Structure 1
Amino acid sequence: MRGLLDGLVSAGTPARLLFVHAHPDDETLTTGVALAHHVARGDDVHVLTCTLGEEGEVIPPALAHLEGDGPALAAHRRGELAAAVAALGVTHHLLGAAGPHDAPAFRDSGMAGSAAAADPRAFAGVPLAVAAEAVGAVLDAVDPHVVVTYDAGGGYGHPDHVRTHEATRLAAASRGVPVLGVLVPLSWATQDREWLARSVPEGEGWVLPTAEHAYAANVVPDEVATRAVVDPSVVPVQEGALRAHATQVVLGAGWYALSNHHVFRLAGREAYALLDPDTGRPLPEGRP
């Protein structure tokens, strides 16, 4: 596979990257390896978060009172996010918030079918042009060489992830900025499933993947994922950022789990593809 920036930024030139995510924790769960890797390279790395995750489930019993209390959970997750991006060493932006303490323009829409989607500020429900304009304002301020976000399906179909992809792609296309989407090669999904079966403790309620496509819709044939960041050395940085997201993540030895007890491997690698600006589909770049 190519490197993340091959052919997009001149070799030896410090790059400016903008990663666009829907909720706090998505930045570390989905692109934590790339974020830490490019910070270590000396690149100028930015993260844009579109909502504060008001509809998230809360794992620790001591914080269970936050679940269902949107404003309280948003405030708490904002603090978690600040600690996570500090651990990663990136510059953070909150969509529609002019200052570090201002409220964002949009809120978490919840999973598909959630009552939260009816809120007038729900990110998935606002007109696409409005969402894209807000993302575009951050693009103009950051002026990135490359933007990174989800694939067209939002990774696993969450409405806010899909809207994040749509708004980011529209804003970037109008400015001529290339967009990379996160994918999972089928061979990696298979390897991770086998590793988790050997490595995760039994009898503790963890849910192991039983098939390559158990968790994510963005598992693709290997040839579709044309770019990658492979850097196991940054996993400790990613783990440090994950610890900050205590309401959402349980950290194990080389793996993490979400509130549904599904486990994922911390393999120190992430795959991507350059997306067609019109359709959002991965472009067939070849795999040198």
Structure 2
Amino acid sequence: MRLVFVHAHPDDESLWTGLAIAHHAARGDDVHVLTCTLGEEGEVIPAELRHLQLPADQPRAVDAADPLADLRRDELHSAVKELGVSTVTVLADGAYRDSGMAGTPSAAHPRAFAGADLAVSSDAVAAYLRAAEPDIVVTYDAHGGYGHPDHIRTHQATAAAVASLPDRPAFYTVVTPRSWAVEDRAWLAIHATRPEVVVPAPDETFLPSVVDDAAVTHTVVDGAALERQVAALQRHRTQVSVYDGYYTLSNNVATRLAAREAFQRIDPGSGSRWLSRRSSCGIRGWSRERAADERA
């Protein structure tokens, strides 16, 4: 199979779908990554590299340099090499810029991806997909996983692009089954004991990408692929700190590395969950479900 994973920033491919990418690459599938920006607004973790981080809460001049962009591009290329990706591409040759978090002045930059004309950005994604001819396209859910404006726009642009194709690939979004989310918090409470690390409380609200287990249509569970995902995350050292069984970002909030990822197949036009002609729900592998559809 040929799979395309569409993400907003360098590191997202490894954080959100690194296990699935490594799994499919290892079994011989043709895997490609498309990133919509270079993560110019990222918060830098290593002290010796913080001079590359732009000042927070300040407007960005149109002609200002983006000192972090080249380093994050290098990190991206190193990470996808660990995952076994065939190609990695920056959308529209870098025409779009990281918008930053919701409400920040960087969102007003004329190249900010979240503020770009959706018809134009979705056309750019569609042009890439027409050339790639994937069987499967994967991106965030409609909430962008956790509400980042670039993640939301990536979902919107990718869904519109897939819907516009005459021969549509299967379209999947990243989700987390609620039972996994509960298990992961319990695990972190025991194992993520470093004093600087923050572990979400059991009753803390889950991310909007956490869904009822019955809403999940596909999973990838692969302990062997976890090693490659961890290696890829370690390449994103400006953004990610990797520990034994979990990682943190600049906010020090722990996320478990549990060797499993979940997805929901949806209709790119309506956004509704796709229902197989053979089964209304269920958790199955992508290749098996595709084969079943082709026999139907």
Q: Please, what TM-score do these two structures have when normalized by structure 1?
A: 0.90
1:88 aligns with 2:83: yes
- Taking the TM superposition and a 5 Å limit, the aligned residue runs for 1:172-191 are 172-175=162-165, 176-191=168-183
When residues 253 and 214 of structure 1 are mapped into structure 2, their CA distance, relative to the original with a 3 A threshold, is farther
Equivalent in the alignment of 2:142? 152
Of residues 42, 47, 53, the one that matches 1:56 is 42
Distance in 2, Cα, partners of 1:171 & 1:192: 34
The residue number in structure 2 matching 1:42 is: 28
Matches of 1:109 and 1:282 in 2, distance apart? Answer: 29
Query: How many positions carry a matched residue from both structures?
Result: 267
Contact 1:28–1:238 (CA under 8 A) maintained in structure 2: yes
Q: How does 1:12-31 map to 2 (within 5 A)?
A: 15-31=1-17
1:246-261 alignment, distance < 5 Å: 246-261=237-252
Structure 1, unmatched stretches of 5+, are 1-14, 98-103
Q: Residue 66 of structure 1: CA displacement?
A: 0.8
Contact 2:186 2:202 in 1 (8 A): no
Matched, 1:169 2:159: yes
Matched, 1:126 2:116: yes
Please report the RMSD computed on the Cα atoms of aligned residues, expressed in angstroms: 1.3
The runs of 5 or more residues in structure 2 that have no matched partner are 56-64, 284-296
Alpha-carbon deviations, 1:142-170, whole Å to 9, x = none?
11011000000100010000000000000
Distance 2:212 2:83 in 1: 30
With over 3 angstroms needed to count, the CA separation of the structure-2 counterparts of 1:20 and 1:39, relative to structure 1, is: same
CA distance in structure 2 between the aligned counterparts of 1:24 and 1:280, rounded to whole angstroms? 26
The partner residue of 1:267 within 258, 273, 288 is 258
Query: Aligned in 2, Cα 1:279/1:224: closer, same or farther, shift over 3 Å?
Result: same
What amino acid is the match of 2:76? L
Quote the offset at 1:215 in angstroms: 5.2
SS of 1:198's partner is helix
Return the letter of the residue paired with 1:178.
A
Q: Structure 2 vs 1, CA of residues 215 and 186 (structure 1 numbering), >3 Å: closer, same or farther?
A: closer
Match of 1:107 among 74, 97, 101: 97
CA distance in 2, matches of 1:212, 1:249: 25
Structure that is richer in helix per residue: 2
Letter in 1 for 2:169: V
Change (3 A) 1:213 1:34: farther
Partner of 1:196: 188
TM-aligned CA deviation for residue 214 of structure 1? 4.1
User: 1:210 offset after TM fit, Å?
Assistant: 1.1
Helix, strand or coil at the partner of 2:100: coil
Q: Give the secondary structure class of the aligned counterpart of 1:183.
A: strand
Secondary structure of the structure 2 residue equivalent to 1:155? helix
Change (3 A) 1:273 1:46: same
Report how far residue 276 of structure 1 moved.
Answer: 2.0
Quote the sequence identity (%).
53
Amino acid at match of 2:197: W
Q: Distance in 1 between matches of 2:217 and 2:240?
A: 29
